[in-house]
Amino acid sequence: MYSRLRNGENILIAEGYLFEFGRRGYLKYGANTPEVVVENPELVEVMHEEFVHAGSDVVEAFTCYGHREKLKIIGREDDLEKLNKTALRIARKVARKHNKLFAFGLCNSTVFVPGDEKANAKVRDMFKEQIEWAVEEGVDYIIGETFNALGEAMLALECIKEYGKGKPAVITIAAYFPDITTDDVPIPEACKILEENGAAVVGLNCARGPETMLPLLREIRKTCKGPIAALPVPFRCTDEYRTFQSLKDPKT
């Protein structure tokens, strides 16, 4: 990844497994957990192939919300290691087959509490176990994504640096409205802090569509020196409704 970015290349990553498997009836919206990885692994492999066919340079393991806290909520905590390792091995198989980058993603823990050392020690343990499994399976880089608080994004970055055995870290924030984190840091400044603390790439993912993400990306570009990540959702968000969660059904 480093060499390609240094050579001025753009790296395309196509994903969105939760939405697509939900649309196809294999996941439940609301819980948003990736149990399809252990229930129908062959379908996960096919979807990786579909994203590669669509032009993705990266195969990202489907581990979004596949962490201990979310699996505990749905009564699947015993599947934690199996789910993560299965997801990683499926993604690695497709990535190596097509000579693509192989990535793993941590996501927001849902239990991070700013300033609460006890709660956040639990988050650190959750990140640690997933990172160690990713390293064992040979990922090319590690993503920390969909963070709302700079504090949690920084914790993910610290864990990747501590347990990731030198794997590059890509850290992205989910931007709501206004353009600040939930711990009151302007998002361009938050990205700068992450970059200065060792993130190889910083940027935005989820929440906003292309039209409402681009203006904020331009502000991030002014503050950050390195590569910028942008993974918008495929929704027609507007200045009035900047995130897909805020969109209203015109018929209701």
Binding residue numbers for Zn(2+): 206
Q: CA–CA distance from 48 to each of 43, 54, 96, 167 (Å)? A: 9, 10, 12, 22
3-state DSSP assignment of residue 107: strand
> Do you find a cis peptide bond into 178, omega within 30 degrees of 0?
yes
Check: CB of residue 27 under 8 Å from CB of residue 18. Answer: yes
What's the first-to-final CA gap in the chain, in angstroms? Answer: 46
β-pairing, 169-173 vs 201-205, is parallel
Binding site, by residue number, is 206
The string of DSSP letters for 110-138 reads S---TT-HHHHHHHHHHHHHHHHHHHHTT
Distance between CA 109 and CA 120 in Å, rounded?
Answer: 10
Distance between CA 19 and CA 55 in Å, rounded?
Answer: 19
